[in-house]
Amino acid sequence: MKLVIATRNAHKLEEIKSIFDFQHLEVLSAFDFPEIPDVIEDGNTLEANAIKKAVEISKATGCWAMADDSGLEVNVLDGAPGVYSARYAGEQCSYSDNNKKLLRELMGKKDRSAQFCTVIALSDPEGNVKTVSGKCHGLIIDELRGSTGFGYDPLFVPEGYTETFAELGSEVKNRISHRAQALQKACDEWADFISR
Ligand code: IMP
């Protein structure tokens, strides 16, 4: 059975592949289907976007599809950037633009608590969907530290650690992250669904 991971984010793809045990599945990604346009992420929630991506990609490819929608919620900013994490600093912005904007918004703020959240959806070609979610709590520091990972990783220190995700590296991140927690639940909950 073929399963498409519905992302063109190489970092995310690598994380998902190294965390989730795909066993007998043949794993493809959106990179294998360059003719399929990007799914427009216009939902108001991570769950809505993850479901939309999984269903549209499974229908377009005729394969099973797994999609992840994630975001960083900063408590003192009322949960921003949240579902808008990718385009926090504007439509065509870079990770660096987003990180700079976040540091500006948090300047002088004492409460630095935040959480990465993710929803992962799995759709079969008929559009039957299941979802799991994961969260990782931590703090936003006031300077960029570390060079691994992607996105807000250089600003996020997970609870129980003193280094950022970008300093801790993929081995630690893939054990404790929001994505790791969701995928661990997926391993437990989806075994029967996948092997039908
Ligand atoms: P997406 O819409 O799920 O692709 O992700 C939205 C944005 O959230 C990304 O562009 C990143 O900026 C951020 N993001 C998602 N997951 C992570 C992560 O694991 N580390 C750092 N940033 C992340």
Q: What is the pTM of this model?
A: 0.95
Residue having the nearest C-alpha atom to atom 6 of ligand 1: 86
Among this protein's residues, is 69 annotated catalytic? yes
Among the listed residues 150, 136, 142, the one whose alpha carbon sits nearest the alpha carbon of residue 102:
142
Residue having the nearest C-alpha atom to atom 5 of ligand 1: 70
For range 15-29, the mean pLDDT: 90
Judge if the beta carbon of residue 81 lies within 6 A of ligand 1: no
Among the listed residues 8, 156, 168, the one whose alpha carbon sits nearest the alpha carbon of residue 81:
156
CA distance 18 to 23: 12
CA distance 179 to 12: 9
Judge if the beta carbon of residue 174 lies within 6 A of ligand 1: no
Per-residue pLDDT reduced to its tens digit, 78-128:
999 999 999 999 999 999 999 999 999 999 999 999 999 999 999 999 999
Residue having the nearest C-alpha atom to atom 10 of ligand 1: 86
Confidence of residue 190 (pLDDT cuts 50, 70, 90): confident
Please count the structural domains in the chain: 1
Would you state the pLDDT for residue 195? 66
For residue 120, give the DSSP letter. Answer: E
Task: Give residues with Cβ within 8 angstroms of 33, minimum separation 6.
Answer: 4, 57, 60, 61
Q: Looking at residue 52, which CATH number applies to its domain?
A: 3.90.950.10
Would you state the pLDDT for residue 24? 83
For the CA of 178, the closest atom of ligand 1 is: 19
Return mean pLDDT, the chain.
95
Would you state the pLDDT for residue 48? 98
Residue 186: domain span: 2-194
